[in-house]
Structure 1
Amino acid sequence: MLVIDRIKEMSGSGEWPPGTRLPSEFELAKMFGVSRATLREALRVLEEEGAVVRRHGIGTFIAERSLVQAGIEQLFSVTEWIERAGRKPGTIGFTVGEELTTQEDQESFGFSVPVELYLIHRIRTANGDPVVYCEDRVPKSILPRGLHGFDGSLFEHLEAAGRSIAYARTVIKPIAWHPEVFPALDVKDGQALLLLEQMHYDASDSPVLLSANYFRTDTFHFHVLRRRPKE
């Protein structure tokens, strides 16, 4: 479609750099010589592709380039990922609860009986934009001082408690819908999230943190280096 190609061309050439607010629908339709209906369909396609971002009541913007493009074999905290991309990490929607482990939690941590754990929900932001929804479970016994002094990076808080993260076992899932997470991250219809379910271990191979992190795919791009096995 002509409109899609032209907007991508103007974005790629630097005429409309990432973050640029596009002219109104009326002005764009006049600029490209198309009907408003044709223009809206083009913007819908571009939004699904992640090329533009439409903010209700504000306007349509050229999407920022991917925040992170990293090998998923590298274990960084969300805070570190955001900082490495040159953005300012933040947290909103921070809640902490205390509950007993479920049967599934007990199997994950290797407990034979229910134990108390912290259940932490957070929305992580990059320069103020919500980009990751985090759900973390930590046994209370691992944090004897609780979450006193916790300022955003759970990895750093665990390290201060003497339980540094050494590695994690990760399951990766595409998520087409979640009634709580999608609205929290302002995910549009037709877009998906990438869920990383991870059990984190310390240097003694003890499980210390069970996390479920939902990443916006228009912001985080992960890749994996794969090699042919040696015969």
Structure 2
Amino acid sequence: MALTDDAIARLRNMIQSGELPPGARLPSEQQLAAQMGLSRSGVREAVKVLESARVLDVRRGDGTYVTSLAPRLLLEGLGFAVELLRGDTLREVMEVRRMLEPSATALAAARITDEQVEALAGLVDRMGTVAGDAEALMECDIQFHQLVAGATGNETLTSLLEGLSGRTVRARIWRGLIEGNVAGATVDEHRAIFLALRARDQPLAYAAALLHVNTSEAWLRTIVKPQRPD
């Protein structure tokens, strides 16, 4: 493991320094091992780890390349990890979302395009017609928040928010909202966010998003009980 960690660190430094920029083809495994003074097995394992992290792209029969290093690739694993979280840890994720989402929505209010506003209007209208259908509401909800995050023009922020708002988490929240007969109120919260964005009103967009996240977090707390120590 120590040799693998060393190889990972050296490859990372080569990428960070620009010696291996995005899209660059890595030297052969044998050449890398000789260059680093490490075993081929250590280099091979390091490449596997960095491939899993979407840093490297191994193309069979062609070679190994540095990916684009785009945030959507590097942060892809975040959403998978969030889907596996439970209990208090999942509630911590909601706290992080509460910190990020209102600020992102305020930023979107300053940058959103007319086309994005029109798309959000269609989603809000659809949400109003499918009230009571958890699956349909969840799909609209996912698209709505993806559009809002995309309107920020910040790919890193968009990737983080998408990772923190996994499908499983949203499904559980929407089921709780419908069972509690308050889904309509939550749809109204989406409409309030939309109206603030359409008005390009940043403080109002922040407040509307904060209210919405607080509602989701409150319902999550009713279905995810705190874990008790053994």
**What's the TM-score once normalised by structure 1's chain length?**
0.38
**What's the TM-score once normalised by structure 2's chain length?**
0.38
Choose between structure 1 and 2: higher helix proportion.
2
Choose between structure 1 and 2: higher strand proportion.
1
Higher relative contact order (CA 8 A, sep 6+): 2
